A = this chain, B = another copy of it.
Amino acid sequence: MPKDAKTSIRKFYQTNKRMPTYSEIMKMLCFKSKNAVFKLVKKLAAGGFLEKDESGKLIPARLYEQTRILGSIQAGFPTPAEEELVDTISLDEYLISNKDATFILKVSGDSMIDAGILEGDLVIVDRSITPKNGDIVIAEVDNDWTIKYLVKTKTQIYLKPGNKLYKPIYPENELKIAAVVKAVIRKY
């Protein structure tokens, strides 16, 4: 008896990191004819669950690497079965625009807790962005790297901690800003 097609294909993609071939789908769904797969794929593609290449190869349509996003939960949670109408995103795509200039680093210290950035959080930083006033930046101060607000006034540039216990840092000579913080992620 064939297992559920969608979840089987999704699981294949998740483990093999590529879409299965028609023969492979045939085997994993216990079909005995490739044509059965051909017709099944046609249906799934019409339903938007799959997409095909110009050469016929399968490519992952949404909801593969993606996670369902809920605008508001007022209406209650959808069950995993009725997973159709909600929007989905890929976290990587959502958070990272310029991949080559993007790094992740772990926050140490509590100098930004008022900005909701705690010790142990991961920050996604972009080195290709020119920092603006108010941006949270990674800067070098006294041969040490810290995360602070960047404040640009007409007369000067300085770093402001997101913690009232700490004082702003006014650079003596040069202020080296390494990257701009684009996102914060915290895992429990």
Contact = CB atoms under 8 A, between A and B. Distances in A.
Interface of A: 14, 16-19, 53, 57, 59-60, 65-74, 76-77, 80, 89-92, 94-96, 99-106, 108, 113, 116-118, 121-122, 124, 127, 135-136, 138, 144-145, 178-179, 181-188
The binding surface of chain A is classed by DSSP as: mixed
Number of copies of this chain in the oligomer?
A: 2
Contact of A69 (B70, B76, B105): B105
Given A69-B104, A105-B73, A59 B118 contact: no
A100 B77 CA distance: 13
Given A18-B19, A183-B187, A67 B92 contact: yes
A109 B159 CA distance: 29
A73 B183 contact: no
B185 A184 contact: yes
A99 B66 CA distance: 8
Most buried by B among A66, A96, A184: A184
Contacts of A95: 91, 185, 187
Most buried by B among A65, A69, A103, A179: A103
Contacts of A121: 116
A185 B91 contact: yes
Given A72-B105, A182-B188, A65 B65 contact: yes
Contacts of A138: 73
Nearest to A144: B74
A116 B118 CA distance: 7
Contacts of A66: 92
